[in-house]
Amino acid sequence: MKEVKLFSGTNSKYIAEPIADFYGYPLGKLTVNKFSDGEMQTIIEESVRGASVFFIQSTFAPADNLLELLLLIDSAKRASAGYITAVIPYFGYARQDRKDKPRVPISAKMIANILETAGVNRVITMDLHADQIQGFFDIPVDHLRSEAIFIPYLKNQGLDNVIFASPDVGGVKRARTFAKYFEKDLVICDKERRRANEVASMTVIGDVKGSDVILVDDMADTAGTLCKAADVLMAKGAKSVKALCTHAVLSGKAYENIEKSQLQQLIVCDTLPLKKKTAKIKVLSCAQLFAKAIRNTHEYRSIAALFVD
């Protein structure tokens, strides 16, 4: 069996270090130099010849994180690595997964092409914005689910009076997974957008009166949708509203929006680092799940064993 080498990108050490701790193997040594104009040079400071190499890097903004990952992959390929896996907890540009208006890119497909061209052999990621993005790759993609983190947490919270909700029609399948597992009802918030990151109106489909509602979404960017949904649900008679969200992008006025909203709590995974701490946001670690996925991949064992049935 090939030797395992784990490496972290510059801005993903916050999650790469606990992943390495759970795996029981230290992070490898690398250096990222920058020329005065910002050009990057990646140097792997130890041999990876014939090794099974895992690069841990979320491709969140700025774009340097993606470029750094690509340069690391190329460095390992040219150093004769045996097998290269990109561990991408948050897969950036996944929202642009189709051509929904004239003259726009399908960015998720382009990123998939670039990763393959760079020389990656496999991708491990979590909660893609759309499942079909896996089909943009011609290499194996291990698509982990945050249900494996959120469901055990919710089991200890007491869900007697809970209803699960999707903040939009596109997330119904995701929310239904939780509703079906806990045998609870599901409601849908039907939103209308006039422009990106701005919700014009929202309608609740279903009865939430007197219930503790848990919204389920894959990411919160400005958190406008979640906050609007929380306010509308409370107006419809909900007792309380919390939200589960895998990727805490939280850009722009997100923190301000959350603080001012009737959202009681936002529960997220650490696929992205929080810009600041707030009492309304609780972070659950996905490091152990990724460590298990890396081990199962290296030992040719099933990744499906990591999912919640």
Q: Which amino acids are annotated catalytic?
A: 191
User: Is the CB of residue 91 less than 8 Å from the CB of residue 142?
Assistant: no
User: Is the CB of residue 191 less than 8 Å from the CB of residue 228?
Assistant: yes
Residue-wise DSSP of 165-188: EESSGGGHHHHHHHHHHHT--EEE
Give the C-alpha distances (Å, rounded to integers) separating 156 from 65, 159, 305. 36, 9, 22
Say how many Å lie between the first and final Cα of the chain, rounded. Answer: 30
Q: Report the distance separating Cα 297 and Cα 91, nearest Å.
A: 19
Q: Report the distance separating Cα 14 and Cα 274, nearest Å.
A: 10
Which segments within 26-136 are labelled E, that is strand?
30-34, 40-44, 52-56, 83-88, 122-126
